[in-house]
């Protein structure tokens, strides 16, 4: 795959994701601010869970020159796009976060300084997510952080409806409601002859599972997994950056 092809598809991916997360770039900046506050100025190791084509991994590496990032994702095509779009301090590996052996694939022997995730962990069922959080609590050093940027409900039906309406209004205001959607992006990708050989036959256009955990339930899961503190540091509607401190 040519680098320019990968870059074009990642730019298009970012626009597609902004259809659902109008403040995605600001949310990335908040994640980076949390990582910066936790790791300081020395060398640090950060793992990006469900990294897709590496949008967050690349931004962390660009903003924090002392940080090395390992992105983990189960989708080889997205990883292939990411590999052409991220620099030497980003390593992308293929692994399923529901399999307990995934940390071995990172090649990181010592404790991690931070783990981050963006718009990915709502795909994991609650038991798999609880197991993942226990793994993170084992792998992160004391004082290390887990930072999860994702849409998470508030656990009250009227509030959740209002939070959804707030996000939709924001999306219309910034105009990203007109961006290509998830199914259209995958369909267009399938029609690109340069990428056809890399497709593995899975159907990405169908909707994936949602664990529907609220931000409060997520924080409780993290505390139960061994994190000392857990709570949101940023919110817009139902969009959150949830931080847990080891
Ligand atoms: C909506 S994308 C977000 C990608 C990226 N974090 C971003 O913000 O652009 C969700 C990603 O989670 C990945 N994912 C979902 N379940 C996974 C699992 N069990 N193991 C590894 N990756 C997973 C998908 O392959 C996909 O790349």
pLDDT tens sequence across 116-125: 999 999 999 9
Residues with CB under 6 A from ligand 1: 17, 50-52, 55-56, 73-75, 78, 96-98, 118-120, 123-124
Of 78-82, 146-150, 206-210, least confident by mean pLDDT is: 206-210
What is the span of the domain harbouring residue 88? Answer: 3-245
pLDDT at 104 over 90: yes
pLDDT at 163: 96
Q: What DSSP string runs through the chain?
A: --HHHHHHHHHHHHHHHHTT-TTHHHHHHHHHHHHHHHHTTS-EEEEEET-TTTHHHHHHHHH-TTEEEEEEES-HHHHHHHHTTS-TTEEEEE--TTSTTHHHHT---S-EEEEEEES-GGGS-HHHHHHHHHHHHHHEEEEEEEEEEEE-B-S-HHHHHHHHHHHHHHHHHHTGGGS--HHHHHHHHHT-TTTGGG--S---SSPPP----BHHHHHHHHHHHT-SEEEEEEEETTEEEEEEE-
Question: Please, which pLDDT band fits residue 110 given cuts at 50, 70 and 90?
Answer: confident
pLDDT at 217 over 90: yes
The pLDDT of 35-61, averaged and rounded, is 96
pLDDT at 15: 98
Report the number of distinct structural domains present in the chain: 1
The CATH number covering residue 153 comes to 3.40.50.150
Residue from 23, 123, 204 whose mutation best tests the ligand 1 pocket (most atoms within 8 A of CB) = 123
81 Cα–ligand 1 center, Å: 13
């Amino acid at each position: 795959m040519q680098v320019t092809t990968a870059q074009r598809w990642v730019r298009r991916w970012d626009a597609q994701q902004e259809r659902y997360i109008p403040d995605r770039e600001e949310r990335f900046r908040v994640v980076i601010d949390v990582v910066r506050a936790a790791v300081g100025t020395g060398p640090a190791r950060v793992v990006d869970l469900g990294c897709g084509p590496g949008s967050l991994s690349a931004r962390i590496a660009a903003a924090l020159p002392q940080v090395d990032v390992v992105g983990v994702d189960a989708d080889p095509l997205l990883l292939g796009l990411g590999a052409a779009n991220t620099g030497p301090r980003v390593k992308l590996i293929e692994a399923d976060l529901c399999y307990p052996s995934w940390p071995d694939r990172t090649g990181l022997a010592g404790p991690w300084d931070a783990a981050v995730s963006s718009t990915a962990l709502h795909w994991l069922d609650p038991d798999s997510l609880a197991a993942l959080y226990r793994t993170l609590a084992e792998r992160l050093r004391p004082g290390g952080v887990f930072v999860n940027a994702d849409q998470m409900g508030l656990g009250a039906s009227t509030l959740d409806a209002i939070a959804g309406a707030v996000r939709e209004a924001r999306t219309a205001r910034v105009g990203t409601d007109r961006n290509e959607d998830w199914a259209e992006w995958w369909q267009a990708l399938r029609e690109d002859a340069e990428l056809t050989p890399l497709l593995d036959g899975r159907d990405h256009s169908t909707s994936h599972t949602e664990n529907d955990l609220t931000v409060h339930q997520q924080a409780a899961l993290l505390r139960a997994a061994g994190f000392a503190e857990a709570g949101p540091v940023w919110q817009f509607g139902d969009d959150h950056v949830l931080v847990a401190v080891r």
